[in-house]
Amino acid sequence: MIMAKPKPIQEIINVIKGFDKVLLAGCNGCVAVCEAGGLKEVEILASALRMYFANQNQTIQIDEVSLTRQCDKEYLAEIKEMVPNYGAILSIACGAGVQFMAEMYSEKPVFPGVNTNFIGVTLEKGVWSERCAACGECILASTGGICPVARCSKRMLNGPCGGSSNGKCEVSKETDCGWHLIYERLKTLGQLQRFSVPNDPKDWTTSRDGGPRKIIKEVSQA
Amino acid sequence: MDTKKDGPLGSVMVVGGGIAGIQAALDLANTGYYVYMVEKSPAIGGVMSQLDKTFPTNDCAMCIISPKLVELGRHLNVKLLTVSEVEGIEGQAGRFTVTVKQRARYVDMEKCIACGLCAEKCPKKVDNEYNQGMSQRKAIYVKYPQAVPLKYSIDEANCIYLEKGKCRACEKLCPAGAVDFSQKDRTHNIEVGAVILSPGFQTCDAKSLVELYGHNPNVVTSLEFERLLSATGPTQGHLVRPSDHKEPKKIAWLQCVGSRDQHRKGAHSYCSGVCCMYAIKEAMVAKEHCQDPLDTAVFYMDMRTYGKDFEKYYNRARDEQGVRFIRSRVYNVEAVSGSDDLLIQYASEAGEQAENHPEIIVHQEQFDMVVLSVGVETQPETVELAKKLGVKLTEHNFAETGPFTPVSTSRPGIYVCGLFQGPKDIPFSVMEASAAACAAEIDLAPARGTQVKTRSVPPEQEISDQEPRIGVFVCNCGINIASVVDVKAVMAYAATLPNVVYSQEYLFTCSQDTQEKVKQTILEHKLNRVVVAACSPRTHEPLFQETMKDCGLNKYLFEMANIRDQDSWVHQKEPGPATDKAKDLVRMAVARAGLLKPLTEKPLVINQRALVVGGGVAGMNAALGLARQGFEAVIVEREPRLGGMSRHVSQTLEGLDVQEYVDKLTQEVKDAGIEVLVGSRLAGLSGYKGNFLSTVDTGNGTHKEITHGAVVVATGAREYKPREFGYGESDRVLTQLDLDRLIMEHPERVSKWQRVIMIQCVGSRNKDNPNCSKICCQGAVKHALRLKKMNPEIDVIVLFRDMRMYGVLEDHYTLARKEGVLFVRYDEKDQPEVTLGGSGIEIAFNDLVLGRRVSLGADAIVLGAATLAEDNEQLATMLKVPRNAEGFFIEAHAKLRPVDFASEGIYLCGTAHGPKPISESVAQAMAAAARAAAFLSNKEMTVGGVVAQVEPSLCAACLVCVRNCPYGVPRIDPEKGVSEINEALCQGCGTCVSECPAKAIRLGHYQDDQIMIKVDALLEGVV
């Protein structure tokens, strides 16, 4: 799932302060699950903004809505009638949702209300952690189910490096060394021999290096 | 009255209205028995109502007891007889006639509305016993602000009119005409089927024990100290020392004042069982009360923190809060001349010499205050009561009971609970209270439901298509509100608010006659919402809701504005703004009332069968407690026969034969028609309270399905297999259970032994297992005495850290010392060393009294191995009930719900809850049976009302509700892919509602719009 984190409120204030009417749009998909962009966060953010502007003696009308998903046109279309009434849209969906909103309602400025961080998992209530870097060519089969692209700070394909100490990465004491984890897992699986065959260099064109990506599933095309 | 002349009666008398009596009364009344509660003072609540906080959770005592007081005070099937005492009893079990003398109260309870005007004007001041004499009250008084019944009474001995024939000021001033000097003492002859004694205790007389007490105000008893900490105490909860009202910097607690003392007059040889814990609590709470760092020191002999999670509390006090614990015997407390301070002189354990002063072998330290941790004792009037009732007492003046019949007195049909049974803390008093209720319920089972009253209400009106028609009733509460708030103005203002069609003021809205008027008004004006602007919903909402029901209105169409506690009482000096605030509060309440919706509660039939998981002593007693009341019970036992851990114990500390008892119990289980599935395990459980479906794996791959309404968890515990002291390497290193077996199987080997050394706290009270295992000290003393009996020449040395022979168990400890058993303390950080040689065993340890290392040979080493939780993870997951870090199940509330789980319909007893001896397991099992019976006896339950509801179209199945629910109720429906919250299980706490990121859940009666409109209405007053 895509994980996001609310932007500092001052940053949001700075971009919307010039508008009279703002539509604050949440998304009931990934960002609702990571407690950053669902209807609850919409209500909290809207209240905080109203309070701020009321204290500034400034009247900005902020209306609330939450869509099933902002990455699908059909759901975005649900607010079609509303959008013309607003000077700007503040979306707290992920970066994809914000952009799709902006594409659909290109006549309106659309601002992001969250920072989209990563594809990850819920470790426990309120704690999320990165797991996938969307490189486009999965190598988990050879690394014991632990991704060096996402979990190694250097995205090294053969590790660990000299910066690994007691299972932690030199980047931070809080960060596990991805390759240490891979080593331990492969040991458990009895597959340490994999370390004797280095991984080949990766073709990064399937990742960001190949430019913006697109997937076409022909059988699914209308 | 029961018509069957020979059968038992369906009513019970409970004597004493402290927490134990209250629990027993509520259990009985909720199970279908009519209860007469006899309380000698003007209000129930007992000593617990005087406590500030309670260990080990530091919950406010009043906050947790108050709902129980209110429930009891309002119970349709409890007749409360205050200022009353039992005079005599006739008849026998099943049919007693009890003579109760009720003293004149001189206040008509029907009329008194507790406005307090009488007390304000009463000229006579007397010491307030609720505040331990540290403040004053009037001759006409209520015991404490939250008292139940909240009715004034006149203290005959101090009333000027009753003494001298003049005054009657209260009578003249009472606006309700409630003072009635014509009242006379009355005698009631009450027929009941059983009697439960819960008369409580008093603290030992500190005057006769500590010379300075009573002469120096800075020497206080622990109960006085509780009052000093309490917000309703003489200093309003500001901790100041009595002599100069300055905040103390150093406070000392002296333990065992009046306890564990065979010499002093007024003292007792038993341990009072609670003082160690309350001293720790008071020390910690005192620190919280002080602005500057407060130094606290506890002078003690043995730290007896033996209860569940108590050791962790002790550790926290010492290691995190910096409470000092000084193992010592204090021999003198004296005033420091020229100051208000006190000097404590004490001998430390080793009697070491003071630094630089070899001639002084005592220590001394100065304190600002000294708190005497006074022990508990039976009151003289209780001793008299026992005589009148023909109930035998022990040498310590506690009611005589047996280890296997812990709540039965010597007289059949009369049961006992709480401190009169022996020293104990609140949770065990509550447990015993439920156990005593169970015992009475068994006796009277044929008469269950024969004497109870039921309320009938008209069918509910359909109002959903009606516009709100709100009636507002504003209360003067005598002068309580009216002296500050302009009630007429508030009433007139209410009439101007939207949807309000009627508003009125009453002198006392809660009085019976006003309630009749309110009923007529509701019907006459076709009101469909009611707002009462008066006092607290905590005490009065249920009363007004009953009135709603009587008018055919859903009880959720009611809203209160608290213009007394939250307004007139706190703004007495600002009547103008107080009136404005009252208007704000009324405006908010009216706004919300307009949005209130009726909530329906659906009836569900309760399956009358109970499943008992675990067939040890606890499980069997729980099953018997239910079966003997007529509820079907099924026992699932993992082992091939019943008995559990008790099958490995030959006798109790008192010398009773455990095997004989377990055999008898097993036979009784059979005779009671209880279905027993041995060699079986609970493999699956679905459904919810009232309607469970269990799958039991009965061995050989066969499964049996059982439907039942309740579950009792009695899965027991196990003995730790030590990794220390060479256990397992030699057959001379045994655990206490091993020793028991050896004595039974090969007494000839044991009787040849010359020396046995026992080591305590093996696997307990350490980093891995911070708990005290509670029963190992008793086990060591029991076996030491047995060994001495087998061979008086044998040396028995017990190496201990603290001897935790709590309560009357102290007698056995004393006896063991008399018999020559040597008790030698060791320190946790300096463990004894055991060397296993070819010829024998060597054990070396530091003797802390001698101050040197001692090395001894021994024939056997016996380890007091810890009692550990069974591996219950699977069961806990199935039942969705919590366990603590050590694996013991966690009860719903450590203090007041000791055998319940937070989810209704599931109960807990025995060592699955925590280590405890057989007698306590029996009491707890009976308690669990009583609690389960109270639930099952309803036959039907209502579900719904204030519960969470999921809107499936909004649910993102994010699991936030699943992870956050403290009761483990929500689950993601695998077919629909959205959260599902079972209304029968939901407790209505609202946690999921506030956490749901998609706002897909709402809570009945507390919907966002219903809350937000109150905020909006409040802020209307600002803009």
Q: Is A64 on the interface with B (CB under 8 A)?
A: no
Fold of B470-597: Rossmann fold (3.40.50)
Partner-chain contact B956 A41, CB within 8 Å: no
Question: What is the pLDDT, as a whole number, of residue B170?
Answer: 96
Question: What is the pLDDT, as a whole number, of residue B114?
Answer: 83
* Six-digit token string for B928: 């669990």
| Axis crossing angle, helix B736-745 with helix B776-790, rounded to the nearest 10 | 30
DSSP B387: H
Q: Is A39 on the interface with B (CB under 8 A)?
A: yes
How many beta-carbon contacts under 8 Å exist across A and B? Answer: 38
How far A105 CA lies from chain B's nearest CA (Å)? 24
- Contacts B963 to A, Cβ<8 Å: 124-125
Partner-chain contact A125 B960, CB within 8 Å: yes
Partner-chain contact A39 B954, CB within 8 Å: yes
Fold of A2-118: Rossmann fold (3.40.50)
Fold of B104-184: Alpha-Beta Plaits (3.30.70)
Alpha-carbon distance of B799 to B782, in angstroms, equals: 15
Paired with A91 in beta bridges are A25, A112
Partner-chain contact A35 B997, CB within 8 Å: yes
Question: In sequence order, what are the residues at sequence separation of 6 or more whose Cβ sits closer than 8 angstroms to the Cβ of residue B496?
Answer: none
For residue B2, pLDDT over 70 is answered with no
Partner-chain contact B956 A29, CB within 8 Å: yes
Q: Is A125 on the interface with B (CB under 8 A)?
A: yes
Q: Is A61 on the interface with B (CB under 8 A)?
A: no
Residue whose tokens read 């500050």? B484
Partner-chain contact A43 B999, CB within 8 Å: yes
State ipTM: 0.85
Question: What is the pLDDT, as a whole number, of residue B596?
Answer: 96
Mutation test of the interface with chain A: which of B950, B959, B960, choosing the one with the most A Cβ atoms within 10 A? Answer: B960
Alpha-carbon distance of A1 to A38, in angstroms, equals: 14
Paired with B402 in beta bridges are B405
Task: Identify which of A32, A43, A124 has the shortest CB distance to residue B958.
Answer: A32
Domain ranges of chain B: 1-103+186-201+378-457, 104-184, 204-376, 470-597, 610-716+870-940, 719-867, 947-1003
Question: What is the pLDDT, as a whole number, of residue B495?
Answer: 97
- Contacts B956 to A, Cβ<8 Å: 28-29, 32-33, 38
Partner-chain contact B997 A40, CB within 8 Å: yes
| Among chain A residues, CA nearest to B964 | A125
Phi, psi of B497 (to 5 degrees): -80, 155
Partner-chain contact A125 B963, CB within 8 Å: yes
* Six-digit token string for B298: 């506890």
Partner-chain contact B959 A122, CB within 8 Å: yes
| Among chain B residues, CA nearest to A124 | B963
Task: Identify which of B959, B964, B997 has the shortest CB distance to residue A38.
Answer: B997
* B610-613 sheet: strands from edge to edge: B675-677, B633-636, B610-613, B710-713, B906-908
Q: Is A29 on the interface with B (CB under 8 A)?
A: yes
| Axis crossing angle, helix B537-550 with helix B61-74, rounded to the nearest 10 | 20
Residue type, B1012: M
SS3 sequence of B755-807: EEEEEEEECCCCCCCCCCCCCHHHHHHHHHHHHHHHCCCCEEEEEECCCCCCH
**pLDDT band at residue B204 under the 50/70/90 scheme:** very high
Residue pair B624/B665 in contact by the 8 Å Cβ criterion? yes
Q: Is B605 on the interface with A (CB under 8 A)?
A: no
Question: What is the pLDDT, as a whole number, of residue B3?
Answer: 47
For residue B502, pLDDT over 80 is answered with yes
pLDDT tens profile B413-472: 999 999 999 999 999 999 999 999 999 999 999 999 999 999 888 999 999 889 999 999
Partner-chain contact B996 A40, CB within 8 Å: yes
Partner-chain contact B956 A40, CB within 8 Å: no
**pLDDT band at residue B1006 under the 50/70/90 scheme:** very high
What does the angle CA B63 – CA B323 – CA B848 come to, to the nearest 5 degrees? 135
**pLDDT band at residue B572 under the 50/70/90 scheme:** confident
How far A163 CA lies from chain B's nearest CA (Å)? 34
Partner-chain contact A39 B958, CB within 8 Å: no
Domain ranges of chain A: 2-118, 133-200
Nearest Cα neighbor of B845 from B822, B864, B826 is: B826
CB atoms within 10 A of CB B369: 28
Partner-chain contact B963 A124, CB within 8 Å: yes
- Contacts A66 to B, Cβ<8 Å: 998-999
Q: Is B1007 on the interface with A (CB under 8 A)?
A: no
For B:948-987, CB contacts with A below 8 A are 954, 956, 958-960, 963-964
| Among chain A residues, CA nearest to B955 | A28
**pLDDT band at residue B1 under the 50/70/90 scheme:** very low
Question: In sequence order, what are the residues at sequence separation of 6 or more whose Cβ sits closer than 8 angstroms to the Cβ of residue B829?
Answer: none
Q: What would be the CATH architecture of the domain defined by B947-1003?
A: 2-Layer Sandwich (3.30)
Partner-chain contact B997 A41, CB within 8 Å: yes
Do B1-103+186-201+378-457 and B719-867 share a fold? yes
DSSP B49: G
Paired with A94 in beta bridges are none
**Does B56 sit behind a cis peptide bond, omega within 30 degrees of 0 on the bond before it?**
yes
Fold of B1-103+186-201+378-457: FAD/NAD(P)-binding domain (3.50.50)
How far A210 CA lies from chain B's nearest CA (Å)? 34
How far A142 CA lies from chain B's nearest CA (Å)? 31
Q: Is A66 on the interface with B (CB under 8 A)?
A: yes
Query: What DSSP assignment string belongs to B589-644?
Result: HHHHHHH-----EEEEEPP--EEEE--BHHHHHHHHHHHTTT--EEEE-SSSSTBG
The yes or no reply on domain B719-867 and CATH 3.40.640.10 is no
For residue B4, pLDDT over 70 is answered with no
Phi, psi of B236 (to 5 degrees): 55, 30
Per run of 10 residues, the mean pLDDT along chain A (length 222 residues) is 96 96 97 96 97 95 96 96 97 98 97 97 94 95 95 94 95 95 96 90 91 91 78
- Contacts B960 to A, Cβ<8 Å: 33, 35, 125
pLDDT tens profile B685-702: 988 889 999 999 998 889
For residue B838, pLDDT over 90 is answered with no
- Contacts B999 to A, Cβ<8 Å: 38-40, 43, 66
- In B480-588 the beta strands, taken as DSSP E runs, fall at 500-506, 529-534, 558-562
Mean pLDDT of chain B: 94
Question: In sequence order, what are the residues at sequence separation of 6 or more whose Cβ sits closer than 8 angstroms to the Cβ of residue B626?
Answer: B610, B612, B632, B633, B712, B929, B932, B933, B936
How much is the average pLDDT of B213-229? 96
Partner-chain contact A32 B956, CB within 8 Å: yes
**pLDDT band at residue B352 under the 50/70/90 scheme:** low
Partner-chain contact A38 B956, CB within 8 Å: yes
Residue whose tokens read 């005598």? B478
Fold of B610-716+870-940: FAD/NAD(P)-binding domain (3.50.50)
Partner-chain contact A28 B996, CB within 8 Å: no
* Six-digit token string for B785: 């005495």
Nearest Cα neighbor of B964 from B976, B981, B977 is: B981
Q: What's the pTM value of the predicted model, to 2 decimals?
A: 0.83
Question: What is the pLDDT, as a whole number, of residue B984?
Answer: 86
pLDDT tens profile B45-58: 999 999 999 998 88
